[in-house]
Chains A and B, each alone.
Chain A
Amino acid sequence: MPGNQPALSYTGLFVLQALDRGYRFGFDIMEATGLPSGTVYPALRRLESQGLVESDWEDDSRARKDGRPRRRYYRCTPAGRRRLKDAEVRYRALGKLFARKATS
């Protein structure tokens, strides 16, 4: 992990994982992670400001056709995916470390 990058929190990790698994909408991420809206949306803003997540708005005509407001979809950036992999490896190693300590 580059030294000037802020650490990825558990919440950030969950949100990145949900996005990586194809959940692209705020409410869907809430459903997938079980986190409340007051946690998920701020995490999305923070990850986006760090360049780990990007978003785009759906086509206006489609929203109009369905008679609803336009949706904003989120996805992981390549940097986000790299951070996710790093974090998963680190957390897995951490889990193993604790498992070893517990059995020794």
Chain B
Amino acid sequence: MRPQRLVRVVIAAGSFVVPKTLRARWREEWMAEMAHATSVLEHRGNAGRVLVRMAAGSVIDALMLRTLAFAALLSRGSLSRVWQGSGRDVHLGVRSLRTAPGLTLAIVGSLALGIAASATGFSVLQTMFHRPFPHVDDQSRLQHLCVTRDGSSCAASFDDYSRLRDHLDSAVGISASYRVDLAIKLRGASATTAAGAVVSADYFDTLGVRPAVGRFFTPADEAAGWAQPVAVVAHDLWQRGFLGEPAAIGSVLLVNNTAVRIVGVAPRHFVGVNPKIDGYRTMVWVPSSIGDLALRNGIGERVSASTLEPSYKLGLVARMKPGVTPEQLAADASSIAAGFAPGSLRQAPSTGSRGVSRHGTPSVTVRDVFLNDPDKSLPASLAFTGVPAIVLLIACVNAALLLVARAASRGPEWRLRMAIGATRWRLARQLLVEATVLAAASGVSGVLAASALLRLQGRAVPLPLPIDGPVLVFTVAMVVCVTLLFGVGPAWTTATRTTLASRLGRQHARGRMRGLLIGAQAALCVGLLATGAQFLRALNVNMATIGISDPANLIVASFDLEPLHYTNSQTEAFYTELTRRIDRAPGVERAGLSSSDYWGVSTEPGFARFFLPGDEADTPRTAGVSAIAGDLLETLELQLLKGRPLASDNTSGVREILVNEALERMLPDHTALGRTLRIAPNQSPREEMQAEVVGVVAPLPGDARSDNGSRPHLYYASSSTESPARQLYIRAGHVGQSIAGLRRLVEAIDDRVPIEVTTLDQFFATRQPESRWIASSTAGLGLLGLLLTAGGLLGVVSYVVTLRTPEIGVRMALGASQRNVLLLILRQALTPVVVGLMLGSAAAAALGFVTQARLYGSEPVDPVALATGAAVLLCATGLASLIPARRASRIQPNTVLKDTT
């Protein structure tokens, strides 16, 4: 833009700041100044720059005029009085709060905690539903493309991607990524499994992500393929594996037993644009030209990206050209997709229901790129903002209680001010200003506390959780609400009750407002406690029903040799060696190997089809299937009910199987021993086999996948399967020793094999991290609410006892016993708590029924959780009231009466 034009634009923009009455003259003056400056400067070298800088000064000039106009407005009429009065109020308020530092700290502390909890919840909600993926450029222009051939499931091939990339004119770029599990090994470190992605070369460019170190893939990488295999690693892996050293670029990483060279590091927090990021965080990206490193077909054979069948795992993301709408993109993509081969949908290994190949005309639908669908954010919004909002409400009620109490003690001050001319409105305004000062201080403290809380939460959520503009706006809105919520009540009480006629020194010892506030606090608190208790109960119920003895000493080690491209004989050799040597490992008491992951520690369990005599070939029955070895039955406390265990050296030529009771019940006469079944393992290319039932076992304790043993399951010796993924279960005397010994053993047998180790109780304690996080946060907030309620009640009852000291003295002088006084104070303190508790419980139960009807997955309020919450609240508030009540009962009547007279 030319300088003269820019100057005009700046002055025009600045003129909008100038008060309307001065605007035309101001603009005229500045245009004259600029014309004069142009004529003076035209012979100088840098005239354009000087003119633009001079024009920038016009904006400051405009702001000055606006400020002067505002000051002039304030200096005349009623507005001036309000402004100056408010200034005095703020001054008085701060002075007054400084005289009661304990009360000020209690109010600011409780409100700050409530605000911090709400701001933290809001920031998490923003990240989960509304913030764009970290480092992704202009996410609003990105769209997921869903190629459908059957009208419902999304499944595309790399060939589909290539055609769309070459012909889709409404997109600037399209990327493809295919999620895979990889076995990775860095030099000098143990092998581990990691989530990976096979991506098109333009993947990062399409998303607009820039590398933290090195570079991303180029068309040259795609063309070079296996001649020069390369990979990009996630920031997290770079930090862990290379301590953040730039020298990582160019070093070799072993991916699925293949050496690839690291060319770049993704920026921090970027782990792909997959939905539900907590469950799938990409650590390694490889270009599709070396995709056969990780891609498999339906029967586990390696395939290249170009020959891979359409798969639901292939994610296509397009960046729309400016001005193009998602509908246009979908229409253009569909017209191209109409030329795709109809193809067939391969069964995805982990989805049991989409096994049938379907055919249809391909079409394309689009949807926004997001972590979680914002349209489905209601339940999370309730959890992340509703629960902290209740804590904030409790804190507000607490602050209101303390202010009401304090306002009553300031009666003489109010009457004095009224006597010298202050109106009721003036007194109420004073209290409101004090409330605003408190709320503002709480807001600042709350933001600081939220920042610390978010840093803590950052360890649980692999995403940035900043305090940004929306969070600050939310916090300011909360501060305003807080001011209204806890400031208006005391202000109203003071304005309506304070009169010149009221006797000096008379106090409001039995405030209705106070009872109301305590009741409200109790109601909110019981709801919060019940919700927290319910969440924790729901999470821990699985742990309680495992039923297996000492889960802390049951080690579950998961192996997957599939990514390593091992042959069947290599796989069997590894597992045979592992089974042979594991018993001698330190700390190991018993160990057994199984192809089934009974509690879903790492993979889905396997299934087999079996046929009874007389069954039609196309109507098989299905059962869970485990290929086992070693002392699995003893290790998992799997009781043999009938028959004998599998023979360790079966040379008869007939395969032997064990069945559980559920399978036995499906057989004629409910007898299984000695029967021969036809079995076809679902994911094995092996032919059907005949197997004889040699024993019947009890249901596996707490097997969540088989509905407590009600689903049929069969076990056979591991040599009769080729499953490359297996679980090793170890009953350990010393867990730490056994895990270390196991790792050493695996490295000694084959250091390329990745291993994941956990104990059963640790697995249950750490699974569902998101739900666990919400549950523990809610329970924590419930406890916080309880502390606030109890603390508030303690303060208020103490205050009431102080007010009623003369009255108690008179009562005791007239014959009231210590017990009478104790009960009097306790009754009056706890009555509103009990009423609030009953109302709160009823409201929580009603809300539970309503949310159950409206929200998928929500449960009605658990009576045990509700009763627990109510009992805890009653105990805490009872204890809080007992302290001042005991003090009241020890009042000496003669001392009090002497002081009063």
Contacts and interface: CB of A to CB of B under 8 A. Distances in A.
Contact of A37 (B28, B31, B53): B53
Interface stretch (B57-65, B644-652, B747-755): B57-65
Interface string B44-73: 000000000111111111011100100000
Interface string A11-41: 0000000000000011100110000111111
B824 interface: no
A68 interface: yes
B32 A37 contact: no
Contact of B32 (A40, A42, A45, A71): A71
B57 A39 contact: yes
B36 interface: yes
Contact of B57 (A31, A37, A49): A37
Contacts of A92: none
Q: Please indicate which of the listed interface residues A25, A31, A41 has the most CB atoms of chain B within 10 Å of its own CB.
A: A41
A10 to B, nearest CB: 17
Given A46-B68, A72-B25, 11 more contacts: A38-B61, A39-B57, A41-B57, A42-B60, A42-B63, A49-B68, A57-B25, A68-B32, A69-B29, A71-B32, A72-B32
B68 A38 contact: no
Contact of B64 (A30, A31, A46): A46
Interface residues of B, number: 23
B807 interface: no
B75 to A, nearest CB: 11
Interface of A: 25-27, 30-31, 36-42, 45-46, 49, 57, 63, 68-72
Given A37-B58, A70-B28, A70-B32, A42 B53 contact: no
Given A38-B61, A46-B68, A68 B35 contact: yes
Contacts of B615: none
A49 to B, nearest CB: 5
B84 to A, nearest CB: 16
Contacts of B29: 26, 69, 71-72
A37 B61 contact: yes
29 contacts: A26-B29, A27-B33, A27-B36, A27-B54, A36-B53, A36-B57, A37-B53, A37-B56, A37-B61, A38-B61, A39-B57, A39-B60, A40-B57, A41-B57, A42-B64, A45-B61, A45-B64, A63-B32, A68-B32, A68-B36, A69-B35, A70-B28, A70-B32, A71-B29, A71-B32, A71-B33, A72-B25, A72-B28, A72-B32
Q: 10 closest A-B pairs (Cβ-Cβ)? A: A37-B57, A38-B57, A42-B64, A41-B61, A38-B60, A69-B32, A37-B54, A69-B31, A72-B29, A71-B32
Contacts of B40: 27, 31
B37 interface: yes
Nearest to A63: B32
Nearest to A43: B64
Interface in B478-504: none
Contacts of B59: 38
Contacts of A70: 28, 32
B56 A45 contact: no
Contacts of A30: 54
Contacts of A63: 32
Contacts of A38: 56-57, 59-61
A45 B63 CA distance: 11
Contacts of A46: 64, 68
A31 B28 CA distance: 21
